[in-house]
Structure 1
Amino acid sequence: MLGTFHITLLAALEPTRQTFEICYVDDGSVDGTRRQLSELASADQRVRYTSFSRNFGKEAAMLAGLRMSRGDAVVLMDADLQHPPELVPRMLELHRHGYDQVVAQRDRTGEGALRTALSRVYYRLVRRCMDVHVVDGAGDFRLLSRHAVNSVLSLPESNRFSKGIFSWIGFDTASFTYRNVQRAAGTSKWGGRNLLNYGIDGLLSFNSRPLRLAIHSGLWLFLSALVYALWIIANVALNGVDAPGYTTLMTAIVALSGIQLATLGVIGEYVGRIYHEAKRRPHYVVRETDTTRTSFPSGAPSATSVGQARSER
């Protein structure tokens, strides 16, 4: 897939007659991706790459690509051809009109009804809860000006949620919609569990409303308990002592226990993020770059995929 992507990207960039470089990030692949990247870099001085020591995730790969970039405009895109390279000239044209961010927003063509519905519900939720505006369908396929890139790189947090970061930095933004394209080969590793965790990361990264919700829930429970206690006192005063039933008691205990556990979980998520930030570990570990590449023996396996790709003007 990497070879096809590279040829397609060159076919899109070369007619623009702009000076460009192509920066690849290999997110710890275990196939022949690193070998093929080395061959591409040896054959074309415009190709650069960074290979991680293991899989550090999409956010780390995007950060590495931005750090590698040297151009006035940077286009973030995946190398599985779901981000069509032929849209890059259009993004460059909008950038020349003064936009610091140009977002290629995909539609929902080809997605299942359940995933589409859940995505829409999620984005409605984050628009209400998050301190930044995240648009449905606006992913990582976007152009950033050098000013925007420097702003993103100035943010030091380890728990990164790029969709929120891109919105947080602001700048003049243009967007257009393109038809969703299926992967050229292979299957996505982003299953339901990964998407759920990524969604939770997004909700927690840019707001403290879950903690505020815990406070509000506690106050409402206290007021409810106070009203219930007053009702019990009034009932005793008017009707005498009545033997209490266990149903109400058990329901109250289970409900309060569930709320307490959920609240502790929310607090634990925030404390865990503070702990992770306090360790100040690097976002990734580099195994090899185009300037430190090693020679490969003949007969090594060929590449089939690459984690992330970056194209700079």
Structure 2
Amino acid sequence: MSSATFQNRQVKYSIVIPIFNEEAILPELWRQLSIVIDQLDGLCDVVFVDDGSSDNSYQILSELHRKHSEIKILRLSRNFGHQPALTAGIKNASGNAVILMDGDLQDSPQTILRFIDKWHEGYDVIYAVREKRKESWLKRLAFVSFYRLLNFFSGQKLPLDAGIFSLMDRQVVEALCQMPERNRYLSGLRAYTGFKQTGIMVERGSRYKGEPKVTVTKLFKLAFDGIFSFSIIPLRIATIFGFVCAIVAFVLGLTGLYFKLILGKTFLSWTYGLTTTFFMGGIQLIFLGIIGEYIGRIYDEVKQRPYYLIKETQGFSKSEQRIHEELSL
């Protein structure tokens, strides 16, 4: 299909895939995606977001675009990260339904057909609930802990074990595009929008090739973004703990005076007092760090820098491009 013919037709499905140094996977990823695209009941485009790759990913994507007009490319000016790259793809996706997925083939493209079946049933958001992860025990434990801690602290009910692999109706996409915050946790924002949502169970496969891009450290950062973006519970915990410590200190002080003045004895030893001082000092530093996390995020929001910068595009018509709009956000 020629590029002009493709652009003049209404896109029904848009698949958004962030890419960072995935040259070894891209040919197989497109092969599997093309099989799924051939089975769809409407026109589909695939928006690849090159998140500042330093390998040959962009060159491979460009070659695929020359052969397949349904491929569109957003090339960011540098590596901005997973969530900004996804946001760039979402804001430049034109389909009535937008599918988000990673480019490592841990999630099978065939699952997209199951998403679409649920969409036709009237659901606005369909997300994959991962089970039987084929990863190291440490990473499985990290993911399990991540989703449960986030659900506890976030102040909002979030689906457990559900990442970004999902389908969203155009209404949901437009709602996400209206949310301007920069410390984004898209799975949480997706749940925040409401609408009619459901999950389907999928088996999480192992990475097709190469090393995983999501490390335990990055998972913790994502957890912090989710917790501090959706909840003030950590601040309330700090306040409550402060009150408890003040009451305990007051009681211990009265007890010490009683022992000293009435009984003529020493209440507790100096080693206990020293240990308590260090313990309380550590707690204070932790809570100062929590407050700092909130202040840091406020600082990021106030600066109003662009969430990402697009260096160049391929496959987009002028009416589809929103580059200047993004630069003003």
Supply the distance in 2 between the matched residues of 1:3 and 1:151 (Cα, whole angstroms): 33
Structure 2 match to 1:27: 51
Note the alpha carbon deviations across 1:102-126, whole angstroms, 9 max, x for none. 1122213323333333433333322
Q: Which has the higher contact order (CA 8 A, sep 6+)?
A: 1
Note the alpha carbon deviations across 1:204-256, whole angstroms, 9 max, x for none. 12101111111111101110011011111222232126487321221221112
Supply the distance in 2 between the matched residues of 1:243 and 1:90 (Cα, whole angstroms): 68
Supply the distance in 2 between the matched residues of 1:132 and 1:243 (Cα, whole angstroms): 46
Deviation at 1:43?
Answer: 2.4
Supply the distance in 2 between the matched residues of 1:261 and 1:50 (Cα, whole angstroms): 42
Answering whether residue 74 of structure 2 is matched by residue 50 of structure 1, we say yes
Structure 1 match to 2:216: 192
Answering whether residue 163 of structure 2 is matched by residue 154 of structure 1, we say no
Letter in 2 for 1:116: R
Deviation at 1:187?
Answer: 1.0
Deviation at 1:81?
Answer: 1.4
Letter in 1 for 2:253: A
Q: CA RMSD in A?
A: 1.7
Structure 1 match to 2:277: 253
- 1:106 alignment partner, one of 130, 146, 167: 130
Structure 1 match to 2:262: 238
Does the 8 Å contact 1:101/1:172 carry over to 2?
A: yes
TM-score, normalising length: structure 2: 0.84
Identity of aligned residues (%): 32
Does the 8 Å contact 1:22/1:46 carry over to 2?
A: yes
Report matched runs for 1:255-294 at 5 Å.
Answer: 255-290=279-314
Supply the distance in 1 between the matched residues of 2:141 and 2:268 (Cα, whole angstroms): 45
Answering whether residue 168 of structure 2 is matched by residue 144 of structure 1, we say yes
Supply the distance in 2 between the matched residues of 1:97 and 1:278 (Cα, whole angstroms): 42
Deviation at 1:291?
Answer: 5.4
SS in 2 for 1:16: coil
Answering whether residue 36 of structure 2 is matched by residue 12 of structure 1, we say yes
Letter in 2 for 1:275: Y
Deviation at 1:283?
Answer: 1.0
Does the 8 Å contact 2:106/2:205 carry over to 1?
A: yes
SS in 1 for 2:184: coil
Answering whether residue 157 of structure 2 is matched by residue 133 of structure 1, we say yes
Does the 8 Å contact 2:259/2:267 carry over to 1?
A: no
Does the 8 Å contact 1:52/1:284 carry over to 2?
A: yes
Supply the distance in 1 between the matched residues of 2:265 and 2:114 (Cα, whole angstroms): 79
Structure 2 match to 1:62: 86
Does the 8 Å contact 1:49/1:290 carry over to 2?
A: yes
Note the alpha carbon deviations across 1:128-163, whole angstroms, 9 max, x for none. 221222223211100000000001111000000112
TM-score, normalising length: structure 1: 0.88
Provide closer, same or farther for how the CA distance between residues 142 and 244 of structure 1 changes in structure 2, counting only shifts above 3 A: closer
Supply the distance in 1 between the matched residues of 2:266 and 2:118 (Cα, whole angstroms): 75
Supply the distance in 2 between the matched residues of 1:85 and 1:60 (Cα, whole angstroms): 22
Supply the distance in 2 between the matched residues of 1:85 and 1:64 (Cα, whole angstroms): 21
Does the 8 Å contact 1:25/1:50 carry over to 2?
A: yes
Structure 2 match to 1:300: none
Does the 8 Å contact 2:71/2:315 carry over to 1?
A: no
Provide closer, same or farther for how the CA distance between residues 245 and 175 of structure 1 changes in structure 2, counting only shifts above 3 A: closer
Note the alpha carbon deviations across 1:22-49, whole angstroms, 9 max, x for none. 1111111011111222222222222111
- 1:95 alignment partner, one of 96, 104, 119: 119
Report matched runs for 1:170-249 at 5 Å.
Answer: 170-240=194-264, 242=266, 245-249=269-273
